[in-house]
Amino acid sequence: MVWRRRFIAVLTFLAGLYFLLEFILPPTVPGRTRRGVFLEHSPTVVALASPDGDRIDVEVGPSVEFSMVVRDPTGKLQAKAQRTREVSVGETLNVRTRTFVFGSFRGGSFLDDKGGIVALRPGERVYSDDSGDLPVEPSLIAPGTALKVEVRRAKVVGVRWGSVTLLDGPAGDVRARRTVPLGPNIAVLRERRKGTPDEIEPYDAKVGDLLAVGHTTFLRDHRDTAAQFNSVLGTLALGMGLLSLGVVNGRRLRKRGEDRWVAIAFFVAVVLGVIAGVYKYYDPSTAERSFSDAIVFRLLGPVGSTIFSLLAFYLASASYRAFRIRSAEAGLMMATALIVMLGQTPFGMYLTGWIGEQFKALWLPNIAGWVLRVPNSAVVRGLIFGTMLGGIGTALRYWLNLEKGSAMGGGD
């Protein structure tokens, strides 16, 4: 049915589109990006409301860090640092306003190592790397430990965006000075002598840096999400293998004789596998964990690699049977194979080691090496180029869904 085909085609196209654009588009919107020599910048100021309702204005600078609380793969909560341009009104963040080195604690206020008083504004608390979710207990910390002043669970109530001043033209000319306002998702890129420019925070720019300031295309910011989407979608098919195998062995179960036992063995094995998988996550030195390890290393390991190792025997007999000089081509192939094989093993040196140093190009390992490095690598490169063009062709056909036939979702 044609509408299905269209529908699938559109989805396929959209899925590919992101990754293509991510590659071919620059990180900031082309037309609307200002480029020039950095002169000065006025800092962004973020207005926060602490959980207890205090209002704090934070001037963004090197020691300020905004972080959002997210879950990590083990389900624990974890702070994820954010760029200033990603801060938006209304979201809840942990904000580090400044850091200092602990000197002493006198009269209810912290003193840094230089003896200066660290004045805490309402809502600010002092934390250390390992104090976790609670403010530090002054009596427990040794002088010299690095501490950070933070506002946790702060709600962003307002952002007053700063600006960057760029010079684009002769130094004397006033018209050449351009003040570019910062804002949500305005990225600042510093150009490098080689390679693509890297994104920096405005306050990291030095006078004389070549900057490009413009609105992001969002594409690069979401690369990790895209990767996540891709792997999740792929992994969601995990049941497929199990199901199709189940169906096959289910049929076997209904048969009589050997097949039935094979099928039963299969299902038992699946159960074993699942148990082993579950126990894998118990801590070591528990009985469950050692059971899982035993299954993995004592059963899965040996059986798996043994099945692979059968190939060596097949290879031996096959090459004995097959590698007959039927044609000149086969002959040439065989000769090369023999040289490479001998070159790989110590026998290569035994056979030709007696040839003196001055002729060491004739040592079998060297001949083999030459074959691999020069003609062979040219052959491989030829194949690679073919594959590259093939790959481009295929990618286009799949992406634009030009493929016909029952196979690729096309014409049913």
Partner 1 sequence: MDNANWQVLLLMVVFSGLVLWKIASAKRGQGLYIRPIPGLNAIEEAVGRSAELGGPLLFHGGVADFTNVQTLAAVGILEHICKTAAKYGNRILVTTAMPVMVPIWEDVIKASFAAAGRPELASQSEVRFISPAGDLTALGTTQVLVDEKVSSCFLFGAYDYTSLLYSEGGQIAGCMQIAGTSDYYQIPFFVASCDYVVMVEELFACSAYLTREPTMLGSVVGQDYGKLFLLLLILTGVICATVFGPSNPLNLYEGILRF
Partner 2 sequence: MSWSEYWASGWAVWLGAFCVLAIYSYLFRDNPVYRLMMQIFIGINVGYAVVVQWKDILYPLWWLPMMDGIDALLGCGQGSPYGALWVLVGFLGLLWYFQLSRRYLWLSRIVIGITVGIGAGFTFKSLFGQNIPQVVDSFRPLGPSAVAVQPRRLFSLPPTVVPPLLDEPLLVLAGEREAVAVETLEGREVWRCPLPGPPSGRVRMGGDFVEIPCGPETVRIDRRTGRRVAGGPPIPPEASGQAGTDGGWHAGDGRDRLVKAGVAAPDGGEATVMYSVVAGRLFATRLDADARGGFWASDPGVPAKELYDGGRFVLASDGRSVAVVDASLGSVTARFQTTEAPAWLTVARMADPIYDQATVVAVSRGGRIEGFCAADHKVSRQPAGRLLWRAEAGKPLVWAGTAGGVLFAVGPDGGRSYELPPVPKALDASDYWDNWVFVITLVSVMTYFFFSFRREPRVVTGVRRLGRWLLMLGFGAFFGNTVMSRMSFLLDRLMFLVDDWIKPFFHQIFG
Partner 3 sequence: MWRRLAVLDRVPRQTIYLLMFLACGLPFFFDVRLPLYVWPETRAVFEVTDSTPPDKVVLICSNWVQGSQGENWPQYEAVVSHLMMRGIKFVVVAVDSDPLAPQFSERVNERQAAKYGRKYGVDWVNLGMVRGAPLIMASIGRNIKSVFPRDYRGYSTNDAEKLPILKNITGAADFQILWAIEYQPSLDWMVWLDPAGRVPVAFGSAGIVTTSWYPYISSGQMKGMMAGIRGAAEYETLVRNKYGKRYDEEGLRGGRLLVPLAFGHLVIISFILLGNLGMIAKRRAAKEARR
Binding stretches for partner 3 (CB under 8 A):
72-74, 76, 78, 80, 129-130, 194-196, 223-224, 226-228, 230-231, 234-235, 293, 296-297, 300-302, 304-305, 308-309, 312-313, 315-317, 319-321, 323-325, 334, 338, 341-342, 344-350, 353, 363, 365, 369, 372-373, 376-378, 380-381, 383-384
Report if residue 207 touches partner 2, rule: CB under 8 A: yes
User: Is residue 344 part of the contact set for partner 2 (CB under 8 A)?
Assistant: yes
Q: Taking CB within 5 to 8 Å according to partner kind, which of partner 3, partner 2, partner 1, none is near residue 298?
A: partner 2
CA distances 345 to 316, 339, 342, Å, are: 17, 10, 5
At its nearest, how many Å lie between partner 2 and the CB of residue 23? 4
E strand map for 14-135: 28-42, 45-49, 55-59, 65-71, 77-82, 92-106, 109-112, 117-118, 125-128
Sheet with strand 198-200: strands edge to edge: 177-181, 163-167, 28-42, 210-216, 186-190, 198-200
Position 296 contacts partner 2 (CB under 8 A): yes
Residue 349: name its binding partner from partner 2, partner 3, partner 1, none (Cβ under 5 to 8 Å by kind).
partner 3
Q: Least distance in Å: CB of 38 to partner 2? A: 9
Nearer to partner 1, 294 or 378 (CB): 378
- Write the interaction track for partner 2 spanning residues 70-99; mark x where CB under 8 A is met and - where it is not: xxxxxx----------------x-------
At which residue do the structure tokens 């030095």 appear? Answer: 206
Between 29 and 68, CB nearer to partner 2: 68
Closest of 162, 161, 183, 153 to residue 91, by C-alpha: 153
Tell me: does residue 179 bind partner 2 (CB under 8 A).
no
The binding site for partner 1 (CB under 8 A) comprises: 23-27, 194-196, 241, 244-245, 247-248, 307, 310-311, 314-315, 317-319, 321-323, 329-330, 333, 337, 383, 385-387, 389-390, 392-394, 396-397, 400, 402-408
Tokens encoding 403: 């493929």
Choosing from 29, 47, 79, 167, the residue that interacts with partner 2 (CB under 8 A) is: 167
CA separation for the pair 223, 225 (Å, rounded) = 5
Residue whose CB is less far from partner 2, 81 or 383: 383
Query: Which residue's CB is nearer to partner 1, number 81 or number 330?
Result: 330
Tokens of 264: 């039963």
Report which of 9, 150, 29 is spatially closest to residue 79, judged by C-alpha positions.
150
Q: Under the criterion CB under 8 A, does residue 277 sit at the interface with partner 2?
A: yes
Nearest approach in angstroms of CB 396 to partner 1 is 6
Residues 6+ apart with CB under 8 A from 186: 85, 161, 180, 213, 214, 215, 216
* Cα–Cα distances in angstroms (integers) from residue 351 to residues 185, 342, 345, in the given order: 68, 9, 11
Interface with partner 2, residue 146, by CB under 8 A: no
Helices (H), 294-403: 301-322, 328-344, 347-352, 364-371, 377-399
Residue 29 as a binder of partner 2 (CB under 8 A): the answer is: no
Instruction: Give the dihedral sign, CA 366/371/376/377.
Output: positive
Cβ count near 270 (within 10 Å): 14
Q: Give the residue from 83, 65, 93 showing the smallest Cα distance to 187.
A: 83
Please report whether residue 295 would count as binding partner 2 according to CB under 8 A: yes
